[in-house]
Structure 1
Amino acid sequence: MHGSTGGLLGRDDERRRIADVLGAARNGRGSALLLLGEPGVGKSSLLADAVQDSGFDVVRADGYEAESSMPYAAVQRVVGRLDGHLDALPERQVAPLLVASGRADGPPPDRFLVGLGVLSLLAAAGDAHPVLCVMDDAHDLDAESLDVLAFVARRLGAEHVALLLAGRVESGLEQRLAGMPVLEVGGLAPEPAAAVLHRAAATPFPPTMTAAIVRATGGNPLALTDLAADPLLRELDGLGLGPEPVPIGRHLEAHYLRRVMHTSAAVQGWLLLAAADSSGDPRLLAEAAPRCGVEVADGEAAEGAGLVVLDPGVRFRHPLVRSAVYRSASGTQRRRVHGALAQAAAALGLVEAEAWHASRTVTGVDPDVADRLDRAAELAARRGGASSRAGILTRAAELTPPGPLRGARQVAAAEATLEAGGADVARRLLAAVDDAGLDPVSRGRVATVRTAASMFLADADGVRSATADLLRAADAFRGHDAAREQEALLRAFEMCLTAERQITGTTLEVVGRRIAQGAAGADGADAAVLRGIAGLILEPYERAVAPARAAFDAVVSQPDEVLRYRGTLVAAVGAFLWDERGRDRGLDRARRAAGRLGDLQQLDTLLWVSALGELCGGTVRRAQGFDDGVREVRRAMGYDGENVVNGAVLAWTGAPAALVEAVAAGADATGFGGVTSSTLCALAVREIAERDHAAAYARLHPFVIQEPFLQTSPLFLADHAEAAARSGHLDDAARSAADLVARADANGSSWCRGLAERALALTASDDVEAHHGASVAALRDTTAVIDLARSLLVHGEWLRRARRRREAAVRLQEALVLFERSGATTFAARAAAELTAAGGAERPAPAGDGLDLTTQERTVARLASAGRTNAEIGARLFISPNTVDYHLRKVFQKLGVTSRRQLADRLGRRAD
């Protein structure tokens, strides 16, 4: 403690931990630390000690309860303090910061994009002089600012920046700031606690009493300091003499209340006003004081009594002072001061503060105040404040009389909560909605929120029924909101792909016909997309290709801001058309848009979809890169990236079959049938690579032939043909080959043609060599590197068995190189064995790619070799340019290169 205790006592360990954070920041290694502890335990004193003579530029933005529902309130103060460095940031980061801070109009920014802007701003300021960002009472910060600070803490790297936050243990702060290092600040040990007590007491306490007081207060420094001067402390029965510490909150609050009651009525009135506001804004208190019959001078008297500090805002000595003042007032008194504060806020143009205080003057429903809260919620929405908007709308709904408007506000609150990542809270909000009193559009919105929450929470029943639920939502929107109806139909199709064979409450035919009905009521691009999807579901393949192509073209022609939401459609329709290049271009645009806009949730989905796409018409190496990207994005969002499990990627990269099957079973149990299918089919492909064709046939036949599903099953027809042909199921192999040929004739895809010709080469009785050659020739015109290598492999195997060993060796050597470069290790092993048998040089496939780089270093290296600047790479990976430079220097050192050109040459030799 500072003040009467004469400095910090017994805090050597905590000070060393904070000193490590500051030392790292001085040396260009950005660090963060969250101090957690009960009120009065010394968190504020530790922050003050860190700031004192630190040599840093200090940016302070403490939390205030009244600002907790105002989006980006703390960010606004940080940006205002550092706005001299805004010129160092790219415009795409400046604009979101200004919108979030309420200083400019524009599209509501994503909180992660705001986070990147704050990170870049702190990094730019740190380049000039080390920066220490300090925030006390972090539990009172607004939700959006907390999200931003958590993002910054997780992404700090090579910056001269330190971030110190302090808050209460019970506030849920640690969960909100997931990924931020934590320092738990407990009570003092007995010896320093006794020293604090004695230094604060007028007369020393006897040793036995000292031990009892220390034990009763748990060594809480503020409790020891403030209670030491209280005569009632000598009556130890109230504190307790048991062996365990007792909660000191009620004792300390009673102590503060007694001190408040010793002040004049005017000072007590001013304290109640300040307690009701809690923002500490001196302008607001000065404006409201006359309305309550008190004066600014009364605040100075409160400071003289040691209850508050005016610096120049108002800070209570301890949160329990505020709670003692506020709780001791009657309901009438509280409503009166909140009314005065609401009027003062209105006079100052503080719309959100006015609505917040006005809502606390109401005991029942109040349509006028509810409307004001609704307007405040709109202001929050404009600044991208989903969490704040959700809280404001929840209160607005409480103050709204029962009826459709109340229901609509409850639904809007649930939507905003879901947008902020609170799926479980969104569900609870919906549980309070009276569906019978809702208008049709609101009923449809309820269904869409419920299905989205089911996806987020992996609720098996909800995932399985989501397609049917979204069709019902589309029915509710029909005739009332065409845009929502069409969006619900698109989402129904996407959820159909998610659950695949597990969908309940409807059938594929019903889905297709309902989408066709929606297409009839749409026009332009939306109509083309819906017609194409309906055709994909309902029509024979040759008749569905044309509308599917029109749908694909309509989707990828949409602006990037819309395309980022259409990754599943791009992947699905692109796969249906066997258009791997168009699919990859569309997904690349969508990923770039999501990254540019800071939409990490969509980027997460897009990276996942891209990884699966690469395993069908791409390379394992690129699939692993996208899978690594999912982990990095989830870390940036505060989730444990190590828990990301893509079963298909695991199957391709050599994970034990039992583990892969367990992943598939887990996905199946949660309703994610699409994940089950992709995982087990990938495992079957590995079994083909390992020549276990009977197992591969048994695994593929149910998915591909017995119960085919839309565009996904045909992607494995060539695998089925190979497994069937080589396990003695020749009729099944021939049927799969014929199906592929028919599809290739209809879609004109070189990728599809190459696989069809390979299947024919494995099943035909004549022209076998011609089919092998045609397969290789067709696939050379694609990005499907693994498929090309597999066609080279089967051709080489055929040549070797025809005793044409020299020709076989040429094909097998090329296949081996492609397998190694693309990361298909199991097929590489098979190709190497065949090459040895053909008399070629024995060269075992290397483990990995020979580059000793971390995941982030590899990504930075790849982007740098492609010509991206540090700023562009930082924006892409949501890290600062300083951190990019740090990783790049390590890459240069590890690879023995000195320029980006050399880096490109080095990486180019390992084409993916």
Structure 2
Amino acid sequence: MRRTRRLYGRDAECAALDEFLADIRSGRGRVLVLRGEAGVGKTALLTYLHNRKPDVRVLRVTGVESDMELPYAGLQQLCAPLLDRLDRLTRPQRDAVSVAFGLAAGPAPDAFLVGLAVLSLLSEVAGTQPLLCLVDDAQWIDRASLQALTFVARRLTAEPVGVIFAARATAGHDTALAGLPVLAITGLCTEHAGQLLDSVVPGRLDRRVRDQIVAETRGLPLGLLESARNRTAAELAGGFGDPGRPGPPLQIELTYAQRIAAMPGPTRRLLLAAAADPVGDPLLLMRAAQRLGIPADALAPAERDGLIEFAGRVLFNHPLVRSAAYRCADLAERRAIHAVLAEVTDPAVDPDRRAWHSAYATTGPDDTVAADLEAAAERAQQRGGVAAAAAFLQRATALTRDPVRRGARALAAARAKCDAAAPAEAEDLLGIAELGPLTDLDRARATRLRARLLLSRGHLQGPAVHELLDAARQLENLDDPGAAETYLEALTAAMHAGRLGEAGTLHDTARSARAVATPAAELTHPAYLLVSGISRRIGTDSGTGHTELRAAVALLDTMLHTDPCHLQWPGGAFPIAQESAVHELWDDEAWHRLATRSVQLARDTAALAILPRALGYRAGAHIQAGEFAAAAMLIEEADSISAATGYPSMTDHSLILAAWRGHPTEANPFIQAAAERATSRGAGRLLGLTAYARALLHNGLGNYDQAYAAAREACEYQDLGLFGWSLGELVESASRCGEPDAAKRALRQLEESTLPSGTDWALGTLAASRALLADDQLAEELYVEAIQRLDRTRIVVHQARARLRHGEWLRRMNRRADARTQLGAAHTMFTRMGAHAFAERARRELVAAGQKTRSRSVAGGDRLTAQEAQIAGLAAAGLTNQEIGAQLFISTHTVEWHLRKVFVKLHITSRRQLRGTSWAH
């Protein structure tokens, strides 16, 4: 059988790869995902690119299915040739990647620091020569490595670095690769498939046989080659084979199994040993051969047949060869090989892999091996390998004899699987745990975990809330902090369901939660105070709870700055509980401090489940401060992380930002789509937010009838932390469209929301709303009070809005000069922040007041992008390029590239000039 080097039918794909390579050579970073099913030719295309690299350095790694549970295994293989440059990294980056690669001991590395270290490492190498990273079989790369590599890929801008992932069409890590540019690789057309077959068949190929092969293999190149290889010359010449012989298998892997089965016994055993050890360590394989009494040259037949080769490591010529070599052996043979590999693996160098091999060598329960796996799980957790820990604990569960220990390990494995975003496996393990004799504490934790799994699938209605309440009651007197956290989870789940939840569920939950807080505990754990405050705010008619919420916010503020390590939040409770508390208190200073510190803490601890939410929390503060560019940058980062980790995308603050920006053609479809998602998921709070966003948008546009309808919808349900904002929109829209009674009712409710707080934000908002309904004598006094109070806050959007309302009132009073002063200030503020609708409303009023003006237009080419604006702001604050890169998780080279563009757009020449430039448009 001849081998072909030509890629038939791949002219378009090769042209795209040539363009990719040209971009890298010209200094432009690129990323691409080759998508296609097994055998379609992705590896051949990577090899094509590899061979066209005379002036480009290439790093290549191939994913191995059995290696997926070992964190950073793939990344270590890819970066192994670059480890001599680790000393070029900053100390935190060097320490993080050293622990991740097992080169040093230490606590679990910060995942973002690992990603940034790899980005810095690749950027350092690319400084002298363009760099190409090829990741084959990405669906089998361990999750930690793939997240780090996609983190790098999403941040390639000005580095001459290219990253190409080859992944199956149904890749296991689709969430990590989501959003990256894709080149779809499909089977060959009939003409090109026939040409490929003609090129490899030495004799006559009957046309009908050829057409049959092409049809059965659907034009998959590997299937075509293997089908031709497994047919005799007689069969190829006209289908004259033995009729008793089965036809070609549809599964390509079976063809490899047939070739392996034809090998001598010692060769098959060594192939099995190589397949069972995905690291490809030739020394380990030789030790195994020696232990088995097999000569080293026993692999020669497999090498001659093109199944395996040695190139510094043991390499199968296709991953399906590896799986075929493993699966075609019977269970006893596999166990024997794993036992040998466990014996020859050094326990001091690689105890985890030794434990893994031992686990697969056992024939029944083995408490010693189970204990080793449990220890391996602890080490994996310390290295940030949640998925590996879950796999170790899952196997340990199966090998544990004692029912009590088995139940505890199954529960631990279920929690780890849940954290690793594997809910189906978590449910299976939880079922195993619940069948055993669990302690009362573990039984309660199991109930809580089952409820959390329900919530993770989007079940926001009654069952999940009821199970959380049940778990919370069970945890009382066993784990009181855990009980408080579980009550908080139940409360926030019910709050999230909101108006779409079961009738009475929220108030029933609040009533149950109020009993958990104890005075002594409240002083040391913010969850108690949040439960107490939130349950009183939503569960009573007296409007109490401010005292507890104020104490919770103060305690959170202290802990975030002095003892952040002891803050362990229930995943879903963090954003709604903390943010709702701050909003109910109308405390903009606390919002700023808590949001800023929460982002920093999430970054420092690599809390991927929390960071997108924390970024959204901080983005909300930026929006209220009129810093739309900074908010957009954080929201974009949050969405990027969510896409990479598989967490739901943040939409709450995106909606508010869209409403404030005031472009109806962009905002309305976005808000409508969010409302449809909210309805389908039973997310009543999000549905209320979409109504608030519509009210805000239409008030800005001056469409007061539409704003009134939306505000009424938003206020039909008292969403904690959002209701007060919606009342403000209702007062304005109702007063503008001839609904004074509705405006007065809304104002009375707004008074109940703001007066207990007493902050300038609360009282300034109240004064601005009262002024809309006041008589002419009192109105001006209230407008002035609103402006003075809001000017003492960080709520810049409402500072501008108070001036707009005052200016509108002054114009109606025919005080045109005074009106122009207030309206001009409002117009400038709205224009600077990018609040288009409100700026246009102010401009129209200015024209009516006798001032000639026009809409401000900023050329698209001169406007800073969100990332440029954030980098400019950090540079203006005095941060170095290296510090900016570390904070934003981009390379120093990328920072320099963006700053050069900023200087050109702002017509400046130095960083010092940034401090006096208005750049955040």
| TM over 0.5, shorter chain | yes
Deviation at 1:281, TM superposition (A): 1.9
Q: 2:831 aligned with 1:820, yes or no? A: yes
Deviation at 1:517, TM superposition (A): 1.7
Post-superposition Cα deviations, 1:637-686, rounded to whole Å, max 9, x if no partner, equal 57998999943333332336864355335314422222222221232234
Cα gap change, 1:878/1:457 in structure 2, threshold over 3 Å: closer, same or farther? farther
TM-score (norm 2): 0.86
Q: 2:85 aligned with 1:85, yes or no? A: yes
Cα gap change, 1:408/1:501 in structure 2, threshold over 3 Å: closer, same or farther? farther
Post-superposition Cα deviations, 1:464-484, rounded to whole Å, max 9, x if no partner, equal 654443332322322222342
Deviation at 1:554, TM superposition (A): 0.5
Q: 2:689 aligned with 1:682, yes or no? A: no
For residues 682 and 170 of structure 1, the distance between their equivalents in structure 2, rounded to whole angstroms, comes to 37
Higher mean alpha-carbon deviation, 308-317 vs 621-630, is at 621-630
Secondary structure at the aligned position of 1:899 is classed as coil
Cα gap change, 1:838/1:471 in structure 2, threshold over 3 Å: closer, same or farther? same
Q: 2:530 aligned with 1:522, yes or no? A: no
Residue of structure 1 in register with 2:486 after alignment: 488
For residues 641 and 278 of structure 2, the distance between their equivalents in structure 1, rounded to whole angstroms, comes to 36
Residue of structure 2 in register with 1:647 after alignment: 655
For residues 622 and 784 of structure 2, the distance between their equivalents in structure 1, rounded to whole angstroms, comes to 24
Deviation at 1:334, TM superposition (A): 2.1
Deviation at 1:600, TM superposition (A): 4.4
Q: Which amino acid aligns with 2:837?
A: T
Q: 2:250 aligns with which of 243, 247, 251?
A: 247
| Contact 1:143/1:388 (8 A) holds in 2 | no
Cα gap change, 1:306/1:250 in structure 2, threshold over 3 Å: closer, same or farther? closer
Q: 2:604 aligned with 1:605, yes or no? A: no
Matches within 5 A, 1:871-882: 871-882=882-893
Secondary structure at the aligned position of 2:312 is classed as coil
Matches within 5 A, 1:17-32: 17-32=16-31
Higher mean alpha-carbon deviation, 571-580 vs 370-379, is at 370-379
Deviation at 1:179, TM superposition (A): 3.5
| Contact 1:227/1:255 (8 A) holds in 2 | no
For residues 393 and 449 of structure 1, the distance between their equivalents in structure 2, rounded to whole angstroms, comes to 16
For residues 323 and 633 of structure 2, the distance between their equivalents in structure 1, rounded to whole angstroms, comes to 52
Secondary structure at the aligned position of 2:309 is classed as strand
For residues 676 and 190 of structure 2, the distance between their equivalents in structure 1, rounded to whole angstroms, comes to 54
Matches within 5 A, 1:197-216: none
Cα gap change, 1:83/1:440 in structure 2, threshold over 3 Å: closer, same or farther? same
Matches within 5 A, 1:250-261: 252-253=255-256, 255-257=258-260, 259-260=262-263
Deviation at 1:524, TM superposition (A): 3.4
| Contact 1:512/1:537 (8 A) holds in 2 | no
Matches within 5 A, 1:601-750: 601-613=609-621, 623-634=631-642, 637=645, 646-652=654-660, 653-655=662-664, 659=669, 660-661=671-672, 663-693=674-704, 696-701=707-712, 703-704=714-715, 707-727=717-737, 730=740, 733-734=743-744, 736-737=746-747, 746-750=756-760
Higher mean alpha-carbon deviation, 171-180 vs 713-722, is at 171-180
Cα gap change, 1:663/1:191 in structure 2, threshold over 3 Å: closer, same or farther? closer
Cα gap change, 1:559/1:233 in structure 2, threshold over 3 Å: closer, same or farther? farther
Q: Which amino acid aligns with 2:16?
A: R
| Contact 2:620/2:653 (8 A) holds in 1 | no
Q: Which amino acid aligns with 1:392?
A: F
Q: 2:850 aligns with which of 820, 839, 853?
A: 839
Residue of structure 2 in register with 1:769 after alignment: 780
**Identity in percent:** 34
Q: 2:150 aligned with 1:142, yes or no? A: no
For residues 186 and 502 of structure 1, the distance between their equivalents in structure 2, rounded to whole angstroms, comes to 44
For residues 732 and 843 of structure 2, the distance between their equivalents in structure 1, rounded to whole angstroms, comes to 20
Post-superposition Cα deviations, 1:545-598, rounded to whole Å, max 9, x if no partner, equal 333222111111123655795444442222222111221221122123323444
Q: Which amino acid aligns with 1:118?
A: V
Post-superposition Cα deviations, 1:28-76, rounded to whole Å, max 9, x if no partner, equal 2222344455666654454444334533333333333442221111222
For residues 735 and 212 of structure 1, the distance between their equivalents in structure 2, rounded to whole angstroms, comes to 78
Secondary structure at the aligned position of 1:128 is classed as coil
Higher mean alpha-carbon deviation, 4-13 vs 373-382, is at 4-13
Structure 1: 5+ residue stretches without partners: none
Residue of structure 2 in register with 1:393 after alignment: 393
Deviation at 1:735, TM superposition (A): 5.5
Residue of structure 2 in register with 1:580 after alignment: 588
For residues 259 and 412 of structure 1, the distance between their equivalents in structure 2, rounded to whole angstroms, comes to 45
Deviation at 1:795, TM superposition (A): 2.2
Secondary structure at the aligned position of 1:525 is classed as coil
Secondary structure at the aligned position of 1:61 is classed as strand
For residues 210 and 669 of structure 1, the distance between their equivalents in structure 2, rounded to whole angstroms, comes to 50
Q: Which amino acid aligns with 1:21?
A: F
For residues 719 and 164 of structure 2, the distance between their equivalents in structure 1, rounded to whole angstroms, comes to 53
Tell me the C-alpha RMSD between the 2 structures: 4.0
Q: How many pairs were matched up?
A: 900
Deviation at 1:837, TM superposition (A): 2.3
Cα gap change, 1:375/1:833 in structure 2, threshold over 3 Å: closer, same or farther? same
Cα gap change, 1:435/1:572 in structure 2, threshold over 3 Å: closer, same or farther? farther
| Contact 2:560/2:597 (8 A) holds in 1 | no
Cα gap change, 1:795/1:322 in structure 2, threshold over 3 Å: closer, same or farther? closer
Matches within 5 A, 1:416-427: 416-423=416-423, 426-427=426-427
Matches within 5 A, 1:840-859: 840-844=851-855, 846=857, 851-859=862-870
For residues 803 and 488 of structure 1, the distance between their equivalents in structure 2, rounded to whole angstroms, comes to 59
Q: 1:864 aligns with which of 875, 880, 895?
A: 875
For residues 155 and 784 of structure 2, the distance between their equivalents in structure 1, rounded to whole angstroms, comes to 51
Post-superposition Cα deviations, 1:858-881, rounded to whole Å, max 9, x if no partner, equal 433343334333333333333322
Residue of structure 2 in register with 1:803 after alignment: 814
Deviation at 1:254, TM superposition (A): 5.5
Deviation at 1:85, TM superposition (A): 2.5
Secondary structure at the aligned position of 1:722 is classed as helix
Post-superposition Cα deviations, 1:828-857, rounded to whole Å, max 9, x if no partner, equal 333222222222334345579995344433
Q: 1:892 aligns with which of 903, 910, 915?
A: 903
| Contact 1:346/1:354 (8 A) holds in 2 | yes
Post-superposition Cα deviations, 1:352-409, rounded to whole Å, max 9, x if no partner, equal 2223222323455444433332222222211111222223333333334584443443
For residues 177 and 197 of structure 1, the distance between their equivalents in structure 2, rounded to whole angstroms, comes to 33
Cα gap change, 1:164/1:547 in structure 2, threshold over 3 Å: closer, same or farther? closer
Secondary structure at the aligned position of 2:158 is classed as coil
Secondary structure at the aligned position of 1:146 is classed as helix
Higher mean alpha-carbon deviation, 146-155 vs 430-439, is at 430-439
| Contact 2:629/2:869 (8 A) holds in 1 | no
Residue of structure 2 in register with 1:548 after alignment: 549
Post-superposition Cα deviations, 1:292-316, rounded to whole Å, max 9, x if no partner, equal 3323343456545654312332223
Higher mean alpha-carbon deviation, 841-850 vs 682-691, is at 841-850
Secondary structure at the aligned position of 1:489 is classed as helix
TM-score (norm 1): 0.87
Cα gap change, 1:197/1:432 in structure 2, threshold over 3 Å: closer, same or farther? same
Q: Which amino acid aligns with 2:67?
A: E
Cα gap change, 1:847/1:680 in structure 2, threshold over 3 Å: closer, same or farther? farther
| Contact 1:62/1:136 (8 A) holds in 2 | yes
Residue of structure 1 in register with 2:579 after alignment: 571
Residue of structure 2 in register with 1:498 after alignment: 496
Q: Which amino acid aligns with 1:417?
A: K
| Contact 2:460/2:493 (8 A) holds in 1 | no
Higher mean alpha-carbon deviation, 33-42 vs 279-288, is at 33-42
Deviation at 1:285, TM superposition (A): 2.2
Cα gap change, 1:613/1:467 in structure 2, threshold over 3 Å: closer, same or farther? farther
| Contact 1:64/1:280 (8 A) holds in 2 | no
Cα gap change, 1:275/1:628 in structure 2, threshold over 3 Å: closer, same or farther? closer
| Contact 2:257/2:325 (8 A) holds in 1 | no
Cα gap change, 1:559/1:193 in structure 2, threshold over 3 Å: closer, same or farther? same
Deviation at 1:615, TM superposition (A): 5.7
Deviation at 1:335, TM superposition (A): 1.7
Higher mean alpha-carbon deviation, 212-221 vs 605-614, is at 212-221
Q: Which amino acid aligns with 1:476?
A: Q
